[in-house]
Amino acid sequence: MHLALDATPKKTSYAEERLDALLSITGRMDGYLYRCRNDQSYTMLYISDGISNISGYPSDDFIQNKVLEYVSVIHPDDLERVFASVNTALEAKRNWNVDYRIVPNFGRAVWVREIGGGVFNDAGELVFLEGFVIDISDRKLIEDSNAYLLTQLKDLNELLSAQKRELQLAKQKSDHSANHDTLTGLPNRRAFHNQLKLAMDESRSTNVPVGLLFIDLDRFKEVNDTLGHESGDSLLQHVSGQLQTMLRNTDYVARLGGDEFAFLLFGDPELTRETAGMVAQRIVEKLRIDVPSPTGVIRVGCTVGVALYPADASDPKGLLALADRLMYVGKKGGRNRLVTVSELAAA
């Protein structure tokens, strides 16, 4: 009897095709797939052969937890983080994605990345945990290297920023020292000349006159000679404080040197001369200071020369020279007063 052989290929089901494909893909992975029960020991139902490449243990050792529980090969320092990630994901019924180390039976720990999720039945009960795990050691090395480089770069940027701030602060201090009087803190002669030029430039564009008050203390030398330079310095500091209390937003006061000060102001084009005279008179009154001394009270005062740009002078040097000259006229005329161009013309 001859048996007829069926040469027709046996048809495979879609499920079998999927399983074959899954097993084929798994065999090419640098990793493994797994499914375990939701019980106290997470009994492993399936784990692909890739686990042996990473852990050094055959996959059969893990099936039904025959030799090893899977958690036993997770690095102990990572266990808490892995459990926290899985539990948080399960509570939210979403996938977890966590990196951790596998401790193989050879060499050093291997970094892996696990992406997994829970399988729930129709009643919403958690039945299985499953996922796939891939070797990310090379990627982790690069990531750690990049993280280290980024940290170094951040530290370097912070160092450079700190150095930049120090340089800016040093420059600010240098600029301040170069433009301010160390005793009174007021702008110095250099800063005043720059400000006077700027004021004149602005005056030319706005047609608003500039008033300059040249201030010289009366009897300052007597304070120095009688009470000493420390008392003279204290007097200059007091004077500078008094002058600063009179400043408006657009006004400017500086110490030119010794007991000489300068006060710049702007005003209404029709009233600048009147305003300058009023401010000068207030300064004269404000700087009437009685200084006690062993020989009696030294009555300090000041004399102020008042000049305007462009009415009285056409440039910074000329305006300053005129105000200085008016101040000396006042000194010769009795001190403790202000002098304007009109008085000079009358003289």
259 in active site: yes
Question: Is residue 86 within 8 Å of 78, Cβ to Cβ?
Answer: no
d(CA 243, CA 286): 8
Contacts of 137 (CB under 8 A, 6+ apart): 110, 111
**302: helix, strand or coil:** strand
The secondary structure of 14-33 as a DSSP string is HHHHHHHHHHHHHHHSSEEE
Beta-bridge mates of residue 218: 301
Q: Which of 99, 259, 268, 324 is catalytic?
A: 259
d(CA 77, CA 99): 12
Question: Is residue 252 within 8 Å of 313, Cβ to Cβ?
Answer: no
Whether the bond between 316 and the residue before it is cis, its omega within 30 degrees of 0, is no
- Residues marked active site are found at 259
